[in-house]
Structure 1
């Protein structure tokens, strides 16, 4: 039975040792399954692989049926921000440690990927976040995020004071090292390290997590993602806003970071029988019920 995905793009973490060999093996496997293979432009340039056509992010979105990411969650986040608007589904093959969203181990890719190409998979859709930095009523920076939007104090400065509004209603003025707005996908990233809860990806919500708050009663809170969250920098120098820890905007007093749910979802495909709880158990080394850890 031939693949349901006729044109597949390969995106790799080309800095990783053995990435060229891994990409070649996967590309050859895709060819045996009847797929047409293309390499993402930067992946091809940095690995030196020249035997396949190359496409940039928008071209992958326009022409490919599937994107196959070989690397880690960071690689997935990078391409995910580009592809979400096109609705191209993404599969993650992990090189190294198990990822939360690149969940197929490289050594298992043939056994997992073969049935998926034939239509045997679980689909997992996740909303992206859209953020703007507003300064005196004008947008000075805009970015899309899959994990989180983070407002941080400067490296050499003290706490920042932040005014938080949800759907136009005042919530609180918070003094802390910063504040995280995380999606369910991002709830297992920086937000988790800062003491936030895990959000199941089926929940249409965000978690608002203070970073080292001045007041111990300032706790994380789960919000609906259907509204608007605004963080205003009231006081504090050298503060910045980060979007998936990738894009960076320097902030001035009075700047307002406006976060809304994006119009686009990321489409993740997982092997049949995949469970979010299996991923948590393996990644977080939870007790499996038999006295040991995964």
Structure 2
């Protein structure tokens, strides 16, 4: 169906949390709404496969990147993070519809989709760009040098942590080649501003506005009480080396690599890619914080 002049976009990819019960009729309603607005509609291939929806074409991530100019994500923040990380290299903006409680980045309540989404498709939205972390795991090779055994991206955080059976790990941290500290702790994470309201916050880190050009390094249950969260510029390279501890592991958001070895190095820097989020007109970050963190409770 050709786009109408009032629609800002041409072709929408629809992505859903297909594991959720009752997701198919909701996806169908959103797909029909997109089509009525004048967009071509395609389903992300895993969403199509797991819901049995065959009315619309199914596209791989690469095909979405080549053919679509907006992605509409139905689920929670976890669903959004997973697809945003994959679509970031294609510079496609994302709109988040939350099935349950309002999310930090999936911020259209399901009950408001019918009124809010058409307005956004016509260009009435707030757009923001968020930085991503790029990381790699380097392993020493015999003789000299390192080999790269893993590479990935993260929107929230990169975490290096102890194994399930170990009491702690010892990690050496460097910033741009300068030694910072040896941490004896349950782990150490490097968080983006987006991730500062996730694991980093529960570990005692500060909340960072998404526009801040920085990362926060947060020790997890450090054995030294003076090891505090450290905010650094996002143009640095952070190196975390495994010094001691059994079965250390690493997570890039939800992507895991287990059994890091002594001498392995996790390298974290700013990605060349950004994530583009579209929010309803009038959206602001502080209002989201108030709702999600219940800062307004007790206020008349």
For the aligned pair, the TM-score class normalised by the smaller chain equals: over 0.9
Contact 2:249 2:256 in 1 (8 A): no
SS in 1 for 2:209: coil
Contact 2:169 2:243 in 1 (8 A): yes
Deviation at 1:112, TM superposition (A): 1.3
1:117 pairs, out of 115, 121, 142, with 121
CA–CA separation in structure 2 for the residues paired with 1:85 and 1:213 = 36
SS in 2 for 1:262: strand
Taking structure 1 as the reference length, the TM-score comes to 0.97
CA–CA separation in structure 2 for the residues paired with 1:114 and 1:268 = 16
Contact 2:129 2:277 in 1 (8 A): yes
> Match for residue 217 of structure 2?
208
> Match for residue 13 of structure 2?
9
Contact 1:91 1:269 in 2 (8 A): yes
Q: Deviations for 1:247-291, whole angstroms, at most 9, x for unmatched residues?
A: 324300000000010000000000111001111111110126x72
Deviation at 1:21, TM superposition (A): 0.8
Residue range with higher mean Cα deviation, 241-250 or 18-27: 241-250
Gaps (5+ residues) in structure 2? 141-145
Asked if residue 178 in structure 1 is aligned to residue 191 in structure 2, the reply is no
CA–CA separation in structure 1 for the residues paired with 2:168 and 2:258 = 18
> Match for residue 47 of structure 1?
51
Q: Deviations for 1:18-69, whole angstroms, at most 9, x for unmatched residues?
A: 2101100000111111011000000001011000001011111111010000
4+ residue stretches of structure 1 with deviation over 6 A? Answer: none
> Match for residue 269 of structure 1?
278
Taking structure 2 as the reference length, the TM-score comes to 0.95
Gaps (5+ residues) in structure 1? none
> Match for residue 81 of structure 2?
77
SS in 2 for 1:62: helix
Asked if residue 144 in structure 1 is aligned to residue 153 in structure 2, the reply is yes
Residue range with higher mean Cα deviation, 248-257 or 161-170: 248-257
CA–CA separation in structure 2 for the residues paired with 1:6 and 1:184 = 31
Deviation at 1:127, TM superposition (A): 1.1
Q: Tell me the number of residue pairs that the alignment of Structure 1 and Structure 2 aligns.
A: 291
CA–CA separation in structure 1 for the residues paired with 2:130 and 2:296 = 27
> Match for residue 197 of structure 1?
206
Contact 1:160 1:239 in 2 (8 A): yes
CA–CA separation in structure 1 for the residues paired with 2:251 and 2:207 = 21
SS in 2 for 1:198: coil
Contact 1:141 1:249 in 2 (8 A): no
User: Which residues of 2 match residues 207-226 of structure 1 at below 5 A?
Assistant: 207-226=216-235
Q: Deviations for 1:129-150, whole angstroms, at most 9, x for unmatched residues?
A: 1100001111111111111000
SS in 1 for 2:65: helix
Asked if residue 134 in structure 1 is aligned to residue 138 in structure 2, the reply is yes
> Match for residue 291 of structure 1?
299
> Match for residue 61 of structure 1?
65
CA–CA separation in structure 1 for the residues paired with 2:123 and 2:183 = 49
Residue range with higher mean Cα deviation, 103-112 or 5-14: 103-112
CA–CA separation in structure 1 for the residues paired with 2:86 and 2:183 = 33
